[in-house]
Every structure is written in structure tokens, then in C-alpha cells.
Amino acid sequence: MPELHQSIAQHYHERTKYNPETLASKSQQLDWAKQPVPFKEYKIGSTFDLKPYIQEKPEAYANNPDAQWWQRLSRLLFRSYGIDGKNAFYG
């Protein structure tokens, strides 16, 4: 009788799964002071800080069309980011 071979999915799983011995030897406590940056960063082109535009009231830019444009862009990006809610973690 011919030998049954693993499926490609099973082969991939076996080759890439976590090894419990490796995880146990490298386990560390969580360091809440060294959290990753919560925002996406793309290191191409120029950088513009849009935070001031999203925090100001629309009336602050009534006479400045460029600032109005940046404010509209900052609000669009903020609202399209997909944040459902904010959570505060205390350590």
C-alpha cells in the first residue's frame, strides 16, 4: 500500500508552528514602558504633523484656505483609521 503524504497545508503548519520549548526558554515579562508605536508610519516622502489641524475648531481657519484643506484631510484620515473606541491601560 502506498504511503500517504501530508497535504501542503499540514506540511506548512508543521514547519511554521511555535515550539513550546522555544517559547518557554525565551519567555519574558511584559514591559509596559516599552510599548510599540500605536500609529502606522511610512518612511517615504515628507512628513506632515496633522495633529494641530484636527485639534483646532473649524473657525480657527476661516480665513486660511490652505489650513482648511489640511484640517479636512486630517479629519478624513482620523475617521477612516478604523478606531472603534479608546481604552486606557494602567500599569
User: pLDDT of 21-70, one tens digit each?
Assistant: 776 676 677 677 888 777 777 788 888 888 888 877 777 777 888 888 88
76 inside domain: yes
Predicted confidence band of residue 82 (pLDDT cuts 50, 70, 90): low
35 inside domain: no
Which alpha helices (DSSP H) does 17-64 contain, by range?
Answer: 20-25, 51-55
38 inside domain: no
Which residues in the chain belong to E strands, given as ranges? none
Question: Total structural domains in the chain?
Answer: 1
Predicted confidence band of residue 74 (pLDDT cuts 50, 70, 90): confident
87 inside domain: no
Host domain of residue 67: 49-81
1, pLDDT greater than 70: no
Q: What is the pTM (predicted TM-score) of this model?
A: 0.42
- Residue 89's pLDDT is 66
Q: What's the residue count for the chain?
A: 91
What the block records as the C-alpha cell of 60 is: 480657527
